[in-house]
Structure 1
Amino acid sequence: MSPAVLAVTAHAANAMALGEEMVPIPIAFEMVAVIVAAASGVLAARENKLDLIGAIGLAVLVSLGGGLTRDVILQEHNVYILQQPLALPVSIGTAAAVFAFPWMVEKPDRLISVLDIFAVGLFAVMGADKTMAYGYPPITCVMMGFITAVGGGMLRDICLARVPYIFRRSNLYAMAAIAGAITYMVLIESLGMWNIAAAFISVALTMFIRWWSIRFNIMSPTEFDPHKMPEPVKKVARPVVRPIQRAGRRISAKMSHEAEHARTRSRDGSDLKRGGSARNRRSQ
């Protein structure tokens, strides 16, 4: 048997053994993430005046595009959108319902924003979990978790001919997804935690980071140009001449004040003498 066949066989056996040890993430959580992502895709379609077909297309891209991109990159012959019988119907049904009745998601905007970051955190965990089941290294699992979380939104923005949201300055959106995927891998690989508990903690951390960035307006950094940075204030040594000049000015001012005072006294004395002479002449 050739070494390539042996490697593929060992890789498949390792993935199967790891998959048997781990409990899959509950399907209800997966469907919640799909529903929320599909609803956000329909809202983007309505903002851009797309028809029903365009809304359904964007909904499918946002809700399942990240997982599809991950599976295409991994090439493990296990495409989520094809093997999960509920994924595509739930996405299409959500798109049709939200397109017909947009008030369902436009009114409770705060709830939708909370569920949106919940979906991002859960997609990051799902992507990392599936990649880890195939035996890939942790860094690859984190990358695939990040792609699963934000890949759908990136495909949406590409179809709408605009810069993807994850590449624009915003409140820690992509960074929150990366933190969630890293936390999940650390809890599983380093601490050996049960994957369901690790998923809850990772999603909670993702939501907290996103909330914290919005609450205190923490924005992702943009351009950095060291030439545009303000130059440090340089301390200039004071010359010795300045204190001497200041002392000279004080002495000159004092002498001028004394001279003016002396002129005032002499003027007052002259006035008194003239007044006395005038009184003497009147008395005579």
Structure 2
Amino acid sequence: MQAWVDGHSADSLALHNRGLAYGDGLFETIAVIAGRPSLLEYHLDRLALGCQRLAIEADHALIRDELCRYAALLGNGVLKLILTRGDSQRGYAAAAGAIPRRILQGNPAPAYPIEHAEQGVRLFACRTRLAEQPLLAGLKHLNRLEQVLARAEWQGAEYAEGLMLDVSGRVIEGVYSNLFLVRNNALLTADLSRCGVAGVMRAALLEAAAGEGVAVSVTDLSMADLEQADEVFVCNSVYGIWPVRSFASLNWSPGPLTRKLQAIARTLLDA
């Protein structure tokens, strides 16, 4: 499907756009089902937080309208929104009055093996560590070089995801997913106040689990926590939940809480 730039069909962008020059912007990757953008409110909330943090003055009503119109045309697939600070002169300083640029791209939904969801996946132990930067922590900003380096560490289909730690050795997330542990029927996920991406499926699952009466903890996670987990799964806003069946010498089976949340994730994506 033809991309849109600022609401119009386009296939190019100015070379002096700050998103290209400095990664100065944000993005959202949104599942589209039957013409509707899934988890839209969560995506828009995270985008608004990112704009506030980066001081990008975007027209959020306009963005919502364009997302919905583009999704209706796409039908089914994955919609990517890129929001940059705009065009500027050379140098880090942004030009006064720079107008944010909105880019929408549509692609077919990825054809992940059904075994990922049914039987679980293996995690690769990434050597690339996440740097700590509280100002950017949690945001879906355009600079994803850490993830690019981590994803380049393995090839082939043996591993569906990689596990990333921060520079202090804390367990943070997958390369393109968030990580959850289940221990004693409680749900644990990493504190993302120093680094990592606060996924919208992560946010929706935390809310849903609490509503189901499940004890939830957002905290620092160590390798010892991973070793003591009864169940492990990864999630994102496109595929929902994949149970984790192995990491290094550790092995798990998809457990009851993982399966329960997996069903909730499917409902959230279809809503």
Q: Tell me which protein shows more strand as a share of its residues.
A: 2
Q: Which has the higher helix share?
A: 1
TM-score (norm 1): 0.20
Give the TM-score of the pair, scaled to structure 2.
Answer: 0.21
Higher relative contact order (CA 8 A, sep 6+): 2
